[in-house]
Structure 1
């Protein structure tokens, strides 16, 4: 899997490909359908399959003060695209230069000149170009003029509603990671480098691997059953606090997973933590003894959740 700079010319072996084009934050069922169609076309025509995404997200460019909302990082998307069968990920840097391009300029400069596309696949609601001047109809017309075929994929529905990143975000913010996972086809996961904390958890028998939330959406604060993935491929079950730790002062927003039956040093390592199930909201305790007793109950419940999940 190669990562290409959307500002540069694609290498010869990846030109003439079929490109899935969109933001693809979350890479949910709807996104998977778009990428799947591009891969299917590419394989049938003997061409490379590429997935093009934008970073930062256009919302972050136009509304820099918007609260964090990302469902995936670029690294996570790259792995997901590779698992979906793509040969390369193209990253269009969304900056003032890109924002100023008209729909016609974007197609001519970035898709035709930069990538040499033979085909483009998007979702039905895809818009592009300055002031959202381009849509799927415009893309099809420009593609016909430029010698490539544009195709759209309709929305995918679950439970009678279209799957969307905004729907997934709402579920996570409501404390429904199981519902979000059904639309994502996997648990929502936060990846980061393990930071040194105040080490209070270690003193009460629950050492945690602390991760900053960075650009990720803030799901409902609370206690979760989680699954951790280490750089060496090991998978660990655990329980985690996600929030501001109201028992401690000063508050600090963190994801703090405690992994069962694990005592190794993870400081400085990049790990990924999946939020499998929501157990309860954050709470403030009057003493460390009360906190410890509740953590014991939380861990017992998380173990039960993960045991049932592993059987399923």
Structure 2
């Protein structure tokens, strides 16, 4: 898989290609259905898959409120996409030029002239171009004249709930991690590099690994039952808190993770935190002693949870 950052870095001459376009936020089951279809077409036609995504996501650039919370940052998207052996990821910087680009110009100048598209695989609600005026009918009409085929992938449902990034965000905003995981087809997780914190956790006897979060992270603040993938150690059980902390003289959302029965130096290491259940909302404590007592009670709840649902932890 090759990551191409920007159209100006398209050095390779494509003779034919399979194209799919989207935000692909979350890489959920609906997205995976698109990738599966693309892989089948690649197998039959022996031509590469080019996946196009934009950073920032268009709504983020346009600052249309409320901004949708992020399920996956670019690094996480690339990690999940690598499992599908996508040949090329074309990551285009979304800016005022693309915001004003007509759907026709996007199809002709980029998809046809630069990528020599022969197949485009999209969801049945796909819209694109300036003011989202581009749609499937336009693609099909231009495709008839320019020798490319439009393949529509029908939306998927789980218990009459459409599988979409929006509904996954809604599930997380309601602290329904189980539903979010069903729509994703995997457990929701966050990854990042461990940074130095204020050492209060260590002072209380519960040392934490701290990860700085994007303020647009989809999870609510609060305490969670988690497992962690850390270098050379997988499926470690622990507890995590998401909240606003003072970090380098600025208030930031911080993910604090305490792992049970293990003492590791994780500073500057990248770890992945998998979320299973929210234990409680964020609280403010009047003393460190009250905070320590609450942490002790939270840990008991997490251990009871994992004892009941031990199938989460693969030996």
- TM-score calculated relative to the size of structure 1: 0.90
- Specify whether residues 252 and 106 from structure 1 end up closer, same or farther in structure 2 by C-alpha distance, changes over 3 A only: closer
Deviation at 1:240, TM superposition (A): 0.4
- Specify whether residues 287 and 215 from structure 1 end up closer, same or farther in structure 2 by C-alpha distance, changes over 3 A only: closer
Residues 173-193 of structure 1, C-alpha deviations (whole Å, 9 max, x = no match) = 111111111101122222222
Aligned length: 309
- Of Structure 1 and Structure 2, the greater strand share is in 2
1:174–1:219 contact (8 Å) kept in structure 2: no
Which residue number in structure 2 is paired with residue 236 of structure 1?
236
SS at match of 1:24: coil
Residues 18-54 of structure 1, C-alpha deviations (whole Å, 9 max, x = no match) = 1222111111111111222112111122222232211
Once residues 306 and 51 of structure 1 are traced to their aligned partners in structure 2, the CA distance between those partners, rounded to angstroms, is 38
The structure 1 segments of at least 4 consecutive aligned residues displaced by more than 6 Å after TM superposition are: none
SS at match of 2:138: helix
Once residues 142 and 231 of structure 1 are traced to their aligned partners in structure 2, the CA distance between those partners, rounded to angstroms, is 49
- Specify whether residues 308 and 80 from structure 1 end up closer, same or farther in structure 2 by C-alpha distance, changes over 3 A only: farther
- Specify whether residues 239 and 102 from structure 1 end up closer, same or farther in structure 2 by C-alpha distance, changes over 3 A only: same
- Specify whether residues 304 and 18 from structure 1 end up closer, same or farther in structure 2 by C-alpha distance, changes over 3 A only: farther
Which residue number in structure 1 is paired with residue 22 of structure 2?
22
Which residue number in structure 1 is paired with residue 109 of structure 2?
109
SS at match of 1:168: helix
Which residue number in structure 2 is paired with residue 297 of structure 1?
297
Deviation at 1:229, TM superposition (A): 2.2
Once residues 268 and 185 of structure 2 are traced to their aligned partners in structure 1, the CA distance between those partners, rounded to angstroms, is 29
- Specify whether residues 127 and 231 from structure 1 end up closer, same or farther in structure 2 by C-alpha distance, changes over 3 A only: farther
Residues 270-300 of structure 1, C-alpha deviations (whole Å, 9 max, x = no match) = 2222222111112233332232222122223
Deviation at 1:220, TM superposition (A): 2.2
Deviation at 1:68, TM superposition (A): 6.3
2:214–2:253 contact (8 Å) kept in structure 1: no
Once residues 170 and 114 of structure 2 are traced to their aligned partners in structure 1, the CA distance between those partners, rounded to angstroms, is 36
SS at match of 1:90: strand
SS at match of 1:131: helix
Deviation at 1:145, TM superposition (A): 1.9
Which residue number in structure 1 is paired with residue 82 of structure 2?
82
- Specify whether residues 145 and 232 from structure 1 end up closer, same or farther in structure 2 by C-alpha distance, changes over 3 A only: farther
Gaps of 5+ in 2: none
Which residue number in structure 2 is paired with residue 9 of structure 1?
10
- Specify whether residues 251 and 51 from structure 1 end up closer, same or farther in structure 2 by C-alpha distance, changes over 3 A only: closer
Gaps of 5+ in 1: none
Residues 227-261 of structure 1, C-alpha deviations (whole Å, 9 max, x = no match) = 22225564422100112379xxx975311111122
Once residues 15 and 298 of structure 2 are traced to their aligned partners in structure 1, the CA distance between those partners, rounded to angstroms, is 52
